[in-house]
Amino acid sequence: MRKSFIFIALLAIAGLVKAQTMEKLPIDPQVRYGKLENGLTYYIRHNAYPEKRANFYIAQKVGSMQEEDNQAGLAHFLEHMAFNGSKNFPGKKTMLNYLESIGVKFGANVNAYTSFDETVYNLDDVPVVRDAIIDSCLMVLHDWSGFIALKDEQIDEERLVIKEEWRTRSGAQYRIWDKQLPVIFEGSKYADRMPIGKMEIVENFPYQTLRDYYHTWYRPDLQGIVIVGDINVDEVEAKIKAMWSDIPKPVNPAERVYFPVPDNDKPIVSVITDPEAVRTQVTLYIKHDVIPAETKQTKEGLIISFIKSLASNMLSDRLEEISQKGDAPFAASYAYDGEFFVSKTKDAWTTIALSKEGKVDETLASLIRENERIKRFGYTDAEVERAKATLLEQYENMYNNRNKELNNRYVQEYVRSFTGDEGIPGIEYEYDFVKKFAPFINAQAINAVVKQLIADKNIIITVTGPEKEGLVYPTTDELLNVFKKVEAENITAYQEAVSNEPLVSQLPKPGSIVKTEADNTLGTTIWTLSNGMKVVIKKTDFKDDEILMSAHAYGGTSIIPDADIYNANMASMVPSVGGIGNFSSTDLKKVLAGKSANVNNNISAYTQGFNGSSNMKDLETMLQLTYLYFTAPRKDEGAYSNIMDLIKNQLKNLTSEPSFILNINKTKAMYGDNPRMQVMLLEDAEKLNYDRIIEIYKEIYANPGSFVFNFVGTVDEAILKPLVEQYLASLPSGNKDAKYKNVDSNIRKGHVENVFEQEMKTPKTSAFEMYSGTLNYEQKNQIALSALKQILDIVYVRTVREEAGGTYGVGVRSWISRIPAGQSVLQMSFDTDPERVASITPIISREINKIAENGPEDTDFLKVKEYMVKKFQEDEKQNGYWVGILGSKYFYGEDNHSNYLALVNSLSKNDIKALTKQLVSQGNHIEVIMNPKK
Ligand SMILES: [Zn+2]
Q: How far is the CA of 59 from the centre of ligand 1 (A)?
A: 16
Q: How far is the CA of 165 from the centre of ligand 1 (A)?
A: 6
Report the distance separating Cα 422 and Cα 296, nearest Å.
6
Q: How far is the CA of 148 from the centre of ligand 1 (A)?
A: 16
Q: How far is the CA of 77 from the centre of ligand 1 (A)?
A: 7
Same fold across 38-246 and 751-932? yes
Average pLDDT over residues 381-406: 96
Residue of 929, 677, 752, 925 whose CA lies nearest to 825: 925
Q: How far is the CA of 32 from the centre of ligand 1 (A)?
A: 32
Q: How far is the CA of 797 from the centre of ligand 1 (A)?
A: 13
Average pLDDT over residues 739-748: 96
* pLDDT score, position 20: 45
659 contacts 276 by C-beta, under 8 angstroms = no
Q: How far is the CA of 24 from the centre of ligand 1 (A)?
A: 38
Q: Which residues contact 843 (CB under 8 A, 6 or more apart)?
A: 796, 799, 800, 804, 806
pLDDT by residue (tens digit) across 769-796? Answer: 999 999 999 999 999 999 999 999 999 9
Q: How far is the CA of 806 from the centre of ligand 1 (A)?
A: 14
Report the distance separating Cα 628 and Cα 548, nearest Å.
18
Q: How far is the CA of 809 from the centre of ligand 1 (A)?
A: 10
Q: How far is the CA of 360 from the centre of ligand 1 (A)?
A: 35
793 contacts 827 by C-beta, under 8 angstroms = no
* DSSP state string for 307-344: HHHHHHHHHHHHHHHHHTSTT-SEEEEEEEEEESTT-S
Q: How far is the CA of 168 from the centre of ligand 1 (A)?
A: 11
pLDDT by residue (tens digit) across 37-46? Answer: 999 999 999 9
Q: How far is the CA of 146 from the centre of ligand 1 (A)?
A: 20
Position 931 pLDDT exceeds 50: yes
pLDDT bin (cut points 50, 70, 90) of residue 19 is: very low
Report the distance separating Cα 457 and Cα 553, nearest Å.
57
Q: How far is the CA of 371 from the centre of ligand 1 (A)?
A: 39
Q: How far is the CA of 67 from the centre of ligand 1 (A)?
A: 16
Q: How far is the CA of 137 from the centre of ligand 1 (A)?
A: 22
Superfamily of domain 38-246 in the CATH hierarchy: Metalloenzyme, LuxS/M16 peptidase-like (3.30.830.10)
* pLDDT score, position 480: 97
Does residue 473 or residue 3 have the better pLDDT?
473
For residue 571, what is the DSSP state?
G
pLDDT by residue (tens digit) across 636-670? Answer: 999 999 999 999 999 999 999 999 999 999 999 99
Q: How far is the CA of 720 from the centre of ligand 1 (A)?
A: 49
Among 22-26, 343-347, 586-590, the range scoring the smallest mean pLDDT is: 22-26
Q: How far is the CA of 55 from the centre of ligand 1 (A)?
A: 21
pLDDT bin (cut points 50, 70, 90) of residue 344 is: very high
Residues in the chain: 934
Report the distance separating Cα 524 and Cα 895, nearest Å.
13
Q: How far is the CA of 190 from the centre of ligand 1 (A)?
A: 19
Rounded to the nearest 5°, which phi and psi values hold at 529? -95, 165
Rounded to the nearest 5°, which phi and psi values hold at 284? -115, 115
* pLDDT score, position 496: 82
In the chain, where are the structural domains located? 5-18+260-488, 38-246, 513-705+716-727, 751-932
Q: How far is the CA of 174 from the centre of ligand 1 (A)?
A: 14
Q: How far is the CA of 170 from the centre of ligand 1 (A)?
A: 13
Q: How far is the CA of 161 from the centre of ligand 1 (A)?
A: 8
Among 94-108, 137-151, 322-336, 724-738, the range scoring the smallest mean pLDDT is: 322-336
774 contacts 822 by C-beta, under 8 angstroms = yes
pLDDT bin (cut points 50, 70, 90) of residue 326 is: confident
Q: Which residues contact 378 (CB under 8 A, 6 or more apart)?
A: 443, 444, 446, 447, 450, 451
Q: How far is the CA of 73 from the centre of ligand 1 (A)?
A: 10
Report the distance separating Cα 886 and Cα 902, nearest Å.
19
Rounded to the nearest 5°, which phi and psi values hold at 35? -135, 135
Q: How far is the CA of 805 from the centre of ligand 1 (A)?
A: 13
Q: How far is the CA of 80 from the centre of ligand 1 (A)?
A: 6
Report the distance separating Cα 633 and Cα 583, nearest Å.
10
Q: How far is the CA of 831 from the centre of ligand 1 (A)?
A: 15
Q: How far is the CA of 26 from the centre of ligand 1 (A)?
A: 37
Q: How far is CA 94 from the centre of its chain?
A: 31
Q: How far is the CA of 770 from the centre of ligand 1 (A)?
A: 26
pLDDT by residue (tens digit) across 611-622? Answer: 999 999 999 999
Position 8 pLDDT exceeds 90: no
Q: How far is the CA of 407 from the centre of ligand 1 (A)?
A: 25
Tell me which amino acid residue 348 is.
Answer: A
Rounded to the nearest 5°, which phi and psi values hold at 915? -65, -45
Q: How far is the CA of 169 from the centre of ligand 1 (A)?
A: 10
Q: How far is the CA of 291 from the centre of ligand 1 (A)?
A: 31
Q: How far is the CA of 56 from the centre of ligand 1 (A)?
A: 20
114 contacts 76 by C-beta, under 8 angstroms = yes
Give the pairing of strands 534-539 and 708-713: parallel
Q: How far is the CA of 320 from the centre of ligand 1 (A)?
A: 36
Q: How far is the CA of 539 from the centre of ligand 1 (A)?
A: 43
Residue of 281, 335, 930 whose CA lies nearest to 668: 930
Q: How far is the CA of 784 from the centre of ligand 1 (A)?
A: 31
Residue of 701, 679, 677 whose CA lies nearest to 556: 701
Q: How far is the CA of 166 from the centre of ligand 1 (A)?
A: 8
55 contacts 134 by C-beta, under 8 angstroms = no
Q: How far is the CA of 114 from the centre of ligand 1 (A)?
A: 8
Q: How far is the CA of 442 from the centre of ligand 1 (A)?
A: 46
pLDDT bin (cut points 50, 70, 90) of residue 512 is: very high
Report the distance separating Cα 273 and Cα 673, nearest Å.
35
Q: How far is the CA of 215 from the centre of ligand 1 (A)?
A: 20
Q: How far is the CA of 44 from the centre of ligand 1 (A)?
A: 28
Average pLDDT over residues 893-908: 98
pLDDT by residue (tens digit) across 870-898? Answer: 999 999 999 999 999 999 999 999 999 99
Q: How far is the CA of 218 from the centre of ligand 1 (A)?
A: 18
Angle at alpha carbon of residue 61, lines to 91 and 42, rounded to 5°: 80
* pLDDT score, position 288: 95
Report the distance separating Cα 550 and Cα 631, nearest Å.
18
Report the distance separating Cα 288 and Cα 305, nearest Å.
14
Q: How far is the CA of 164 from the centre of ligand 1 (A)?
A: 10
* DSSP state string for 210-255: HHHHHHHH-SGGGEEEEEEESS-HHHHHHHHHHHGGGSPPPSSPPP
Q: How far is the CA of 162 from the centre of ligand 1 (A)?
A: 6
Rounded to the nearest 5°, which phi and psi values hold at 755? -110, 120
Does residue 531 or residue 8 have the better pLDDT?
531
CATH for the 513-705+716-727 domain, from 3.40.50.2300, 3.30.830.10, 3.40.50.1820, 3.40.50.150: 3.30.830.10
What's 751-932's CATH class? alpha beta
Q: How far is the CA of 193 from the centre of ligand 1 (A)?
A: 15
Q: How far is the CA of 196 from the centre of ligand 1 (A)?
A: 8
CATH code for the structural domain at 5-18+260-488: 3.30.830.10
